[in-house]
């Protein structure tokens, strides 16, 4: 006799709204002017976890809208030009949508390579836009200081994808 498989239905609050709010909260917490042993806290771009994971979970129209809102928050919070982070996020989101078929069902190493490509794309777009805006190349050391902690968020991104992998994500 076959046992029924239970599939948990997950609404947009669980896979879009709550993670976006946690991203904003984590950004605020790590931006506190606290120094440990003379070193400031790292400021990774937590939204890249969402840019990477949302196309894998389910490509939907609300994901890019949420990324625009989170990106605008980052622009205002970090004092950057308005539209820098949303533009970077949407370009990488589009790339992740195109490579979505390569991401699902592969080894973690392949997914890590795609995550690295996502992070590099976002930071490349942000670097180029900033360089064109100020007519000067931004510091590569500062770029690496934000890019490396963002790359270290891959286990969180992988866990986020695995958490919603077997769920029925839909709009209720």
> For 43-78, what is each residue's pLDDT tens digit?
899 999 999 988 887 777 888 999 999 999 999 999
User: Measured in whole angstroms, how far is the alpha carbon of residue 172 from the centre of its chain?
Assistant: 24
The neighbouring-strand residues paired with 36 are 39
**% of the chain surpassing 70 pLDDT:** 86
Mean pLDDT of 18-37: 87
* Average pLDDT in the chain: 85
- DSSP per position, the chain: -PPPPP--EE-HIIIIIHHHHHHHHHHHHHTS--EETTEEPP---THHHHHHHHHHH---THHHHHHHHHHHHHHHHHT--TTHHHHHHHHHHHHHHHTHHHHTTS-HHHHHHHHHHHHHHHHHHHHHHHHHHHTSPPPHHHHHHHHHHHHTTHHHHHHHHHHHHTSEE---
Helices 62-78 and 84-98, interaxial angle, to 10°? 150
Tens of pLDDT, residues 30-49: 888 877 787 777 789 999 99
Q: Is the pLDDT of residue 171 over 50?
A: no
**pTM score of the predicted model:** 0.85
**Residue 103 in contact with residue 115, Cβ under 8 Å?**
no
Cα–Cα distance list, 62 to 16, 92, 150, 152 (Å) = 8, 16, 23, 26
- Give the pLDDT confidence score for residue 172 in this predicted structure: 38
Ordered by where they begin, the domains of the chain are: 9-164 (1.10.1760)
């Amino acid at each position: 006799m076959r046992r029924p498989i239970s599939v948990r239905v997950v609404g947009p609050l669980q896979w879009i709204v709550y993670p976006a709010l946690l991203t904003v909260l984590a950004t605020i917490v790590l931006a506190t002017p606290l120094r440990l042993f003379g070193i400031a806290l790292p400021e990774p771009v937590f939204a890249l976890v969402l840019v990477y994971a949302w196309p894998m979970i389910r490509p939907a129209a609300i994901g890019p809208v949420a990324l625009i809102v989170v990106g605008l928050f980052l622009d205002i919070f970090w004092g950057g030009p308005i539209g820098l982070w949303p533009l970077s996020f949407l370009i990488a989101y589009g790339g992740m949508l195109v490579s979505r078929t390569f991401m699902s069902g592969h080894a973690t190493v392949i997914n890590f390579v795609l995550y690295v490509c996502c992070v590099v794309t976002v930071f490349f777009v942000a670097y180029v836009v900033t360089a064109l805006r100020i007519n000067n190349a931004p510091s590569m050391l500062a770029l690496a200081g934000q890019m490396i902690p963002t790359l270290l968020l891959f286990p969180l991104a992988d866990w986020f994808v695995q958490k919603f992998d077997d769920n029925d994500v839909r709009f209720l």
